[in-house]
Amino acid sequence: MKVGILGGGQLGWMTVLEGRKLGHEFYVLDKSPNSPAARVADGWYPPNRAREFSDRCNVITYEFEHIDENVLSSLGKDTTPPLEVLRLKKSRILEKRFLLYHGYPVAPFEVLRTRELTQLELRKTLVAKAQSLGYDGKGQYVIESPEDLKPLLENHGPDEEFLVEEFVDFSAEVSLIGVRDYEGRVEMYPVSFNYHREGILLYNYAPYDTPLESRLKDIVSRLMEDLKVVGLLAVEFFITKEGEPLVNEFAPRPHNTGHYTLDGAYTSQFENLLRAITGLPLGSTDLKLPTGMVNLLGVSLEDFDVKELLSLPGVKLYWYGKEKRPKRKLGHVNVCGKSVEEVKEKMEVVLKSIYGEAYLGVE
Amino acid sequence: MKVGILGGGQLGWMTVLEGRKLGHEFYVLDKSPNSPAARVADGWYPPNRAREFSDRCNVITYEFEHIDENVLSSLGKDTTPPLEVLRLKKSRILEKRFLLYHGYPVAPFEVLRTRELTQLELRKTLVAKAQSLGYDGKGQYVIESPEDLKPLLENHGPDEEFLVEEFVDFSAEVSLIGVRDYEGRVEMYPVSFNYHREGILLYNYAPYDTPLESRLKDIVSRLMEDLKVVGLLAVEFFITKEGEPLVNEFAPRPHNTGHYTLDGAYTSQFENLLRAITGLPLGSTDLKLPTGMVNLLGVSLEDFDVKELLSLPGVKLYWYGKEKRPKRKLGHVNVCGKSVEEVKEKMEVVLKSIYGEAYLGVE
């Protein structure tokens, strides 16, 4: 089957590499022929040849949400998951409203413009999230005092809209990734524990034991149905101090918190995406053994001791071949172990090996 | 690092796919730009551009033994493992003599020409193996009566040399794959049980419990040293009815009986080959869980029910994208399970699903 992927980043790269074994062909639409996914695909198309790309492919999926509307409308056919979900994801405000009005638990929020933000009387810590480009902590501001508004005012016009939430003092951040086929059958990976630093995922591991598991699974299952997702849906949750789950956001594509499935699960999230959208039976989402993931953020292979890292048993490197930029996701490391405790111990060593003493202990 | 691979078959294909994550670049030398490995590499070179290929690469390995001597000599530098080992593998006679004169246990053999074979008085069942093209049962003849010489006489000239062995009525065929780095450090995968049909591997699984394990490991370890292998060495053994190991043959490259490591081991044989030859620490060869492999021989994806196959939990398809020919290795299926018993049960289902009632029970 000819599979088209909108976006040429590492999520597409891993999708292509995992999908080769199924015998599919892959075509990638991206600005750059040197993007990770384009380099390993059977063909690359620039955005201005979207229709040609679309005509070539039997099914089109996406690995990146911020694709130009002109490109989407010139495809001439729907994607899998549907374009509607992608459009929802282009705005944090639309996404949060969808969740609220469909009865999902979310933190209280309001929509305010930049100039309205400056007039607030601050009694509580707020988080202001710009409507668009909502990934990896971009356009996201924690506001405790009027001082904190400065960078926001520098980066955004007076009429720009923000999703403004009360800062959630959560006890844990977790995520759950589900996969759904054309017949509505659903499989779910275990809950993973996620640790973010400055809005960017630093590490995660699974399985994470929580009494909320069945409630979270119900939420993800219902959301996949509400969104008519065929393929993957990753949902990020905050668990409040009171033990209640709040949906933070969802992603209708392979998710950074599912990279561990490449080594930890019977079937990776990437293979399951492809099985779902090409009409093959879903693969088992069971774990072979506990596994964690550490992101390589803004560090190149010259910045740390790769040999030291790879000498740790059960450590696997995934290097995306991207240009180095501060905080950019340039690769990740998967860490397998016989127990969650062993995985966490190894992840401590990995974090120290990559980031030196600046690393943070594994929770 | 720029890694060159001599040969463009599925072994190279899996090496490239597994090696992408390490950040290496891959160049493949093969007659065809459409060979599996060439299709996923960064560059393809035809045999007449061997020197250019060689100049481009930091390290050269091979995935196929029967590479033209002109190509090898025009590389202008050695390969890893060394060319000497590859040259040994071009002749079953040289290979067996090497084993004999270095003190490895082998079945009694003799070297005879075609016309000498016709003059034998047959008292025992013999196996005559043509000197070259020794893979997948090619050029291999079981001779019980003068009748059995007919196909041999049709295919070979009167002066061609054969390795003639007494037919070993073995109790099991097993293999062991080791990996060795530049410092001489060695890691070994578990022993696998292998089942061949008509000289071609049909299925295998690991771990295979045998009291011979440490003896086999000693043999493989010593052989890697004797051959000065950096990279992989797979050794196939017959276990005689008396419980003695005989070395059948070795392969200084990824081996069909190691494909299960892609899903069963902490580190696949392909990744470990690349770690070894690019100077990275060897990865753990421990198993995550018992795993088996079933070859897709001469059957295309239209010849069996792929959906039925993939609906079995823990089953992974690897489709090489090669043209269908009788008995040709066109793909394989990996099967993971919680126990060896579970793996064997699943493999029975897989064999039946692929080959119908003609399948043979799993031993």
Q: Do both A204 and A236 map to the same domain?
A: yes
Please give the pLDDT value at position B340: 98
pLDDT of residue A273: 98
CATH code of the domain in which B260 resides: 3.30.470.20
Q: Average pLDDT of chain A?
A: 94
| Residues 6+ positions from A321 with CB-CB distance below 8 Å | A36, A39, B23
Smallest CA-to-CA distance from A287 within A272, A258, A271, A267 is with A267
Structure tokens at B217: 């490991």
Cβ atoms of B129 and B155 within 8 Å: the answer is: no
Other beta carbons less than 10 A from residue B64's beta carbon = 20
C-alpha–C-alpha distance, residues A271 and A21, integer Å:
9
- Residue A131's domain is classified under what CATH number? 3.30.1490.20
Q: Measure the CA–CA gap between B160 and B112, rounded to whole angstroms.
A: 8
Residue B359 is predicted with a pLDDT of: 65
Please give, rounded to a whole number of angstroms, the shortest distance from the CA of A8 to a CA of chain B: 15
Contact status, residue B281 vs residue A311, Cβ threshold 8 Å? yes
B344 shares a domain with B221: yes
Residues of chain B with pLDDT under 50: none
A187 to chain B: closest CA residue = B313
Q: Is residue B101 part of a domain?
A: no
Query: Residues A294, A219: one domain?
Result: yes
- Residue to substitute from A44, A189, A266, interface B, most B β-carbons within 10 A: A266
Residue of chain B nearest A337, judged by CA positions: B288
Contacts of B283 in chain A (CB under 8 A): 310, 313, 315-316
Residues in Cβ contact with B103 at an 8 Å cutoff, skipping those fewer than 6 apart:
none
Is residue A218 domain-shared with residue A328, that is, in the same domain?
A: yes
Indicate yes or no: CB of B20 within 8 angstroms of CB of A20: no
Tally the domains of chain B.
3
Strand-pairing partners, residue A4, are A27, A60
Tokens of A180: 């759904």
Q: What's the CA gap between B339 and B362, in Å, rounded?
A: 15
User: A317 vs B22: CB contact, 8 Å cut-off?
Assistant: yes
Same domain, B279 and B138: no
Listed residue (A123, A101, A106, A144) closest to A240, CA to CA: A106
A84 within a domain of the structure (yes/no)? no
Is residue A214 located within the same domain as residue A333?
Answer: yes
**Would you state the pLDDT for residue B137?**
66
- The pLDDT assigned to B189 comes to 98
Strand (E) positions, A139-240?
140-143, 161-166, 170-180, 186-188, 192-197, 200-206, 231-240
Token pair belonging to A128: 């202001």
Interchain proximity A336–B275, CB inside 8 Å: no
Dist CA B66 CA A104 (whole Å)? 62
Q: Which two tokens stand for residue A104?
A: 């999902």
Contacts of A314 in chain B (CB under 8 A): 266, 284, 286
Of all residues in chain A, what percent carry a pLDDT higher than 90? 85
Give the closest-approach CA distance of B280 to chain A in angstroms. Answer: 6
| pLDDT (0 to 100) of residue B132 | 79
| pLDDT tens track for A225-270 | 999 999 999 999 999 999 999 999 999 999 999 999 999 999 999 9
Q: If you search the block for the tokens 């049962």, which residue do you land on?
A: B137
Average pLDDT over every residue of A53-59:
98
Q: What percent of chain A has pLDDT over 70?
A: 98
Looking at the structure, tell me whether residues B195 and B342 fall in a common domain. yes
Shared domain for A231 and A150, answered yes or no, is no
Domain that holds residue B139: 108-166
Max distance between CA atoms of chain A, in angstroms, equals: 59
A133-169 tens-digit pLDDT: 656 667 889 999 888 999 888 889 889 999 999 888 8
Q: In a mutagenesis test of the A interface, which of B262, B266, B307 is the best target, namely the one with the most A β-carbons within 10 Å?
A: B266
